[in-house]
Amino acid sequence: MLKFLLKSAIWAVEASYNTPERKGARGERLVHNALTSVLNEQNYRVLTDLILPVAGGTTQIDHLVLSRFGIFVIETKNMSGWIFGSADQKKWTQVQKRSKRQFQNPLRQNYTHVKAVQEILKVDQKALNNFIVFTGTAEPKTSMPESVAWGLKDLGRLIALQREQMLSDVQVNAYSKKLRDQALENTKTVRNEHLKNLEIKAAGRKHAPARNPAVNLDQTACPKCGTEMMKRTNRKTGDAFWGCSNFPKCRGTRKIA
């Protein structure tokens, strides 16, 4: 009986330790520690776990890195197993030994964070980068967008690749201060209110009237990086198409439906 009670206690501790919330928090700490230890604080400003006010509620950003080379909005996923997905899919799939589940395309999820930062700072879209980092043992099983990093070293590589100066030191300092000033105090009350707002929004989407499937509401989201696209014209054929607003840094395109 004692053995059974001890095993039950161990299972309970392991179960509580491996909840999605705690796994996510561990992943975020890993990324924060890696960013602050590797990136030179004279050139990069690292902000973590920001809760920012937006129209209709709040949005929570895992990590923000500000530098002369742009602003990096980073979403953390601490996951294991195999990951299937593409830039233009609404849902990605995680496959483990005996389970399969779908989760929101993190590029689309993080795109809302990117737009929130853009709205607050009134900064050019070209200076913003939508990055995802998987910090667990997860492996991609489909071709993934270049803005998705698999591990902390890969995230560092993605940031280091950005060498074109987009902002001045004065702008970096001003933007960092503005975001800190705008961010809500990260208390239990604020976090609970943020989660409550998310639940209300999710319930609203679930009971919303069906949309016309012929209307592609996501056609202006870049399939490679998730940022906003612009209408462009093919010089050779004269045909119109959607082109990424981050061109030439990103060359994502879509056909116009």
Domains of the chain in sequence order: 20-204 (3.40.1350), 217-257 (no CATH)
Tell me what pLDDT residue 22 has. Answer: 54
Record the tokens describing residue 69, joined without a space.
Answer: 């080379």
Q: What is the pTM of this model?
A: 0.71
Least confident of 35-49, 90-104, 105-119: 35-49
Q: How far apart are CA 253 and CA 84, in angstroms?
A: 21
> Cβ distance 158 to 31 under 8 Å?
no
Record the tokens describing residue 110, joined without a space.
Answer: 């993080």
Q: How far apart are CA 11 and CA 8, in angstroms?
A: 5
Average model confidence (pLDDT) for the chain?
80
Residue 23 pLDDT exceeds 70: no
Per-position b or e across 181-190, b if 16+ CB within 10 A of its CB: eebbeeeeee
**Residue 218: phi, psi to the nearest 5?**
-105, 15
* Partners of 61 in beta bridges: 50
Tell me what pLDDT residue 13 has. Answer: 38
Rg of the chain (C-alpha set): 20
**Residue 207 or 55, more confident:** 55
How many beta carbons lie within 10 A of that of residue 107, not counting itself? 29
Residue 102 pLDDT exceeds 50: yes
Cα distances (angstroms) measured from residue 117 to each of 131, 141, 182? 14, 31, 11
* Torsion over CA: 246, 54, 121, 169 (sign): negative
Q: In sequence order, which residues have a C-beta less than 8 Å from that of residue 82 and are 6 or more positions away?
A: 94, 95, 96, 138, 139, 140, 141
